[in-house]
Amino acid sequence: MASSIHFLMCAPDHYDVDYVINPWMEGNIHKSSRDRAVEQWQDLYHIIKDRAVVELVQPQKGVPDMVFTANAGLVLDKTVVLSRFFHKERQGEEPFFKEWFLQQGFTVHELPKDLPFEGAGDALLDREGRWLWAGYGFRSELDSHPYLAKWLDIEVLSLRLMDERFYHLDTCFCPLTDGYLMYYPPAFDAYSNRLIEMRVPESKRIVVGEADAANFACNTVNINHTVIMNKASAELRERLEQAGFEVVETPLTEFLKAGGAAKCLTLRVTEPIQPLLHGAATIESRTIRLEGHLLDSGLINRALDLIVEGGGSFQVLNFQLGEQRQSTSQAEIKVTAPDHNVMEDIVSQLIDVGAVAPPQEVCDNPLETVELDGVAPDDFYVTTIYPTEVRVKCEWVRVQNQRMDGAIVVSETPEGLIAECKLLRDLKKGDRVVVGVEGIRTVRKTEARDQRSGSDKEFGFMGAGVSSERRVELVVEQIAWELRQIRDRGGKVVVVAGPVVIHTGGSEHLSRLIREGYVQALLGGNAIAVHDIEQAVLGTSLGVDMKRGVSVRGGHRHHLKVINSVRRHGNIANAVEQGMITTGIFYECVKNGVPFSLAGSIRDDGPLPDTQMDLIKAQEDYSRHIRGADMVLMLSSMLHSIGVGNMTPAGVKLVCVDINPAVVTKLSDRGSVESVGVVTDVGLFLSLLVQQLDKLTHVYQVAQTV
Ligand SMILES: NC(=O)c1ccc[n+]([C@@H]2O[C@H](COP(=O)([O-])OP(=O)(O)OC[C@H]3O[C@@H](n4cnc5c(N)ncnc54)[C@H](O)[C@@H]3O)[C@@H](O)[C@H]2O)c1
């Protein structure tokens, strides 16, 4: 028939499922019937021929998938971008398609050899010609999209495919006449779904369910108001008819075995240009550098996973492998993201694993001025626990007061440039704050091979893992050894503790640690102090007799009585000095000059006069006590431990003890080697710890006498 619409098809003379390059092919090798395939292809051919012009390319031996002409290339007007097949099994098709396009007078563009792009299988024009939807994630690289924008002078909208069953964009996405779009949303990531929803109004979106998607309903040939597909459910047919489409079903089951259907078997080679629209791609690329034990620490894998999971793609430009056991490796990686925001998210995560922009690229960090006290510029860089440096005047400046969830303020002082972490509430109008992610790096200690393999005498063998019950004693032994080292060199250990320490009988052990100089600051809430003092004064904890383990008559009022008594004395220190409190954790703190800070909460009884109910002041107190710590021991207080974790920079050893593995995992999962979780009863942990310290003391004494 006379039509201005032309399609390219290729007869299935050599079609078969010869190999497996997608999940549909699995189990289908040589299972398709040639006769049935020919029959089905002929039916499709005639249906299309009734509505458009069909041109044919000569089938070739040895390239069975050539029948899927959608993957020949991407056509716009008389220009074609040829496919660069991802799998070597299909690369043999490239010269045949190239020849056909050249014969027809097309201007042929070819992508660099190592840049996969699978033509109209992964790039679909909006049927109004307004833009090009381009898929990536399985077969085509995101990096190919800027070439499409440049060569075809069209806006490219990149969509990330997530489900390997829908490995090409045209298996789950089909732009239709009049601005309609038929698609299967779960095949895309959240960002892509948002982009689709922004461009296509809800009334024009025809969402298909999983069953239709699996029948390749989206792999449809659309000619004006006709849609030709393998199969449609009654529901989908009705929806399409409502939108003004005639639905033509033609079984293509033999081709489904290879992961293709109607659309895959055709390539529309007449695609007119919209003269008023011009090329644009929001795609951004940046190069980052990584250094360290990239392979054996798994750092390179982690970085590449972060890029892909974040919606980007990568190209390793350069990789220098450290040759000696102790030498480090370097990699230069080109990161590509579909837009600026995605790029910033990816790069900030890469910074956390130690990536940097090559130094020649950034000399000054972008800074923006604070306009309102306590409010950062929108795009401010959010700090992490890792020691961070920012690029100012072509120098790397170390950020002071490193902590999580702050902003970086850069100032020039008579002493030189200063960069420091500030909490949002501390920002002042006029402060210059680092925005974006350029010129920022975190300085990660290179994990030595020995540390990872476990022979390190400090925390190495525990890794950043959560130990099982079985390993508790071993872990305790290591912690005791470390505590002893810190005490002997005049270091600082901060204990964060909840009231469970008292209920589980840990009070006497923690008291001993304080008395013997193993603790330099104690952080907690109202409860630990109340229950410690209740036990010291009345022998009960929450009204339970700690010696006999039974409830005492009227015991439920005990804690209120002690709160009242302490309030009468003015504070805990006075209560100790005036003889009201004669034993216990807080008694030892006062007597041994160990500072403590109690942060208030909404459930506090009393509270004790020492409990700081102004939470901003409480946070400041905590932060002051944590400064300079070598180790933080977190003992069964989720609330206060999480607070402390956020304030503590990397490099401080964290030990988290809790009976709940989820709490331990949350607290010790800081991605650093210095944290360790112990899942056990805190009373038991403290008693084992004290026993181990006694053993060590004994060993030291023996060593001295020898
Ligand atoms: N009377 C009071 O004023 C009062 C009483 C209770 C709590 N509070 C306040 O409420 C806030 C939260 O209190 P919190 O720190 O107890 O609660 P939390 O929920 O933050 O932490 C308790 C943690 O202890 C763990 N745990 C329970 N049994 C354990 C065991 N045998 N061994 C090891 N770990 C165990 C839990 O899994 C949990 O993670 C604090 O500010 C506290 O002061 C006040």
**Sole residue written with tokens 């420091």:** 420
What percent of the chain has a predicted confidence (pLDDT) above 70? 93
What percent of the chain has a predicted confidence (pLDDT) above 90? 60
618 lines ligand 1 (CB under 6 A): no
> Distance between CA 478 and CA 465 in Å, rounded?
14
**Which residue, among 398, 99, 368, 339, has the nearest Cα to 195 in the 3D structure?**
339
To the query of whether residue 168 is one of the catalytic residues in this protein, the response is yes
Protein residue with least CA distance to atom 19, ligand 1 = 638
Residue 520 Cα to ligand 1 midpoint, Å, equals 22
645-691 pLDDT tens trace = 989 988 899 999 999 988 888 887 765 557 888 999 999 999 999 99
**Which residue, among 254, 193, 252, 177, has the nearest Cα to 217 in the 3D structure?**
252
Question: Phi/psi of residue 157, each to 5°?
Answer: -110, 115
556 lines ligand 1 (CB under 6 A): no
Output the pLDDT for position 208.
Answer: 97
Residue 499 Cα to ligand 1 midpoint, Å, equals 6
306-340 pLDDT tens trace = 887 787 777 778 888 777 766 778 888 888 888 88
> Distance between CA 645 and CA 661 in Å, rounded?
16
The sheet with strand 155-160 has its strands ordered as: 123-125, 132-136, 155-160, 280-281
The sheet with strand 284-292 has its strands ordered as: 284-292, 329-337, 313-320
Output the pLDDT for position 489.
Answer: 96
Highest mean pLDDT among 41-45, 283-287, 438-442: 41-45
Give the confidence band of 404 by pLDDT, cuts at 50, 70, 90.
confident
**Active-site residue, selected from the candidate residues 168, 509, 531, 559:** 168
Report in angstroms the alpha-carbon separations of 432 from 126, 412, 428, 429: 44, 10, 9, 9
The tokens for 704 are 């001295």
Best residue among 466, 472, 476, 500 to mutate for probing ligand 1's pocket (most ligand atoms within 8 Å of CB) is: 500
Protein residue with least CA distance to atom 31, ligand 1 = 681
Q: How many CB atoms lie within 10 A of CB 60?
A: 15
Bridge-based pairing state of the strands 155-160 and 221-223: unpaired
Protein residue with least CA distance to atom 8, ligand 1 = 527
472 lines ligand 1 (CB under 6 A): no
436-474 pLDDT tens trace = 888 888 876 654 444 444 333 333 334 445 555 557 888
Give the confidence band of 538 by pLDDT, cuts at 50, 70, 90.
very high
420 lines ligand 1 (CB under 6 A): no
Q: How many CB atoms lie within 10 A of CB 258?
A: 25
Give the confidence band of 121 by pLDDT, cuts at 50, 70, 90.
very high
Residue 507 Cα to ligand 1 midpoint, Å, equals 15
Whether 94 has a pLDDT exceeding 90, the answer reads: yes
The tokens for 126 are 């909006």
C-alpha triplet 221, 222, 224: angle, nearest 5°: 150
498 lines ligand 1 (CB under 6 A): yes
Report in angstroms the alpha-carbon separations of 280 from 132, 158, 338: 10, 11, 12
**Residues with Cβ < 8 Å from 555, sequence gap 6 or more?**
540, 542, 543, 544, 545
pTM over 0.75: no
> Distance between CA 648 and CA 402 in Å, rounded?
8
Output the pLDDT for position 685.
Answer: 95
> Distance between CA 424 and CA 406 in Å, rounded?
6
Give the confidence band of 292 by pLDDT, cuts at 50, 70, 90.
confident
**Which residue, among 308, 255, 212, has the nearest Cα to 10 in the 3D structure?**
255
Whether 176 has a pLDDT exceeding 70, the answer reads: yes
**Sole residue written with tokens 């005490």:** 487
Give the confidence band of 422 by pLDDT, cuts at 50, 70, 90.
very high
Mean pLDDT of the 231-245 span: 97
**Which residue, among 297, 320, 329, has the nearest Cα to 448 in the 3D structure?**
297
146 lines ligand 1 (CB under 6 A): no
- 37-41, 173-177, 463-467: lowest mean pLDDT where? 463-467
DSSP code per residue over 113-170: TT--B-GGGSEEE-TTSS-EEEEESSSS-GGGHHHHHHHHT-EEEEEEB--GGG-SGG
- Please check whether residue 524 is in contact with residue 596, taking contact to mean a CB–CB distance below 8 angstroms: yes
Protein residue with least CA distance to atom 15, ligand 1 = 637
> Distance between CA 59 and CA 42 in Å, rounded?
14
266 lines ligand 1 (CB under 6 A): no
Q: Where are the beta strands (DSSP E) in 489-561?
A: 493-497, 521-525, 540-541, 544-545
Residue 666, classified by CB atoms within 10 Å of its CB into exposed (0-12), middle (13-18) or buried (19+), is middle
**Sole residue written with tokens 């944590």:** 626
Q: For all residues of the chain together, what is the average pLDDT?
A: 88
Mean pLDDT of the 557-576 span: 95
To the query of whether residue 218 is one of the catalytic residues in this protein, the response is no
Output the pLDDT for position 17.
Answer: 79
In angstroms, how far is CA 476 from the centroid of its own chain? Answer: 32
179-188 pLDDT tens trace = 999 999 999 9
C-alpha triplet 609, 610, 613: angle, nearest 5°: 85
Residue 525 Cα to ligand 1 midpoint, Å, equals 9
Residue 541 Cα to ligand 1 midpoint, Å, equals 13
**Which residue, among 556, 576, 558, has the nearest Cα to 566 in the 3D structure?**
576
- Which segments of 315-448 does DSSP mark as H helices, in order? 340-352
List of domains in the chain: 6-281 (3.75.10.10), 283-361 (3.30.70.2690), 363-446 (2.40.420.10), 449-704 (3.40.50.10690)
Residue 37 Cα to ligand 1 midpoint, Å, equals 68
Output the pLDDT for position 353.
Answer: 80
Best residue among 467, 496, 504, 526 to mutate for probing ligand 1's pocket (most ligand atoms within 8 Å of CB) is: 526
583-618 pLDDT tens trace = 999 999 999 999 999 999 999 999 999 999 999 999
Residue 706 Cα to ligand 1 midpoint, Å, equals 46
Protein residue with least CA distance to atom 3, ligand 1 = 604
Bridge-based pairing state of the strands 313-320 and 329-337: antiparallel
- Which segments of 627-681 does DSSP mark as H helices, in order? 638-647, 661-668
Query: In this predicted model, which residue has the larger pLDDT, 202 or 305?
Result: 202
**Active-site residue, selected from the candidate residues 172, 174, 218, 264:** 264
Would you call 675 helix, strand, or coil by DSSP? strand
541 lines ligand 1 (CB under 6 A): no
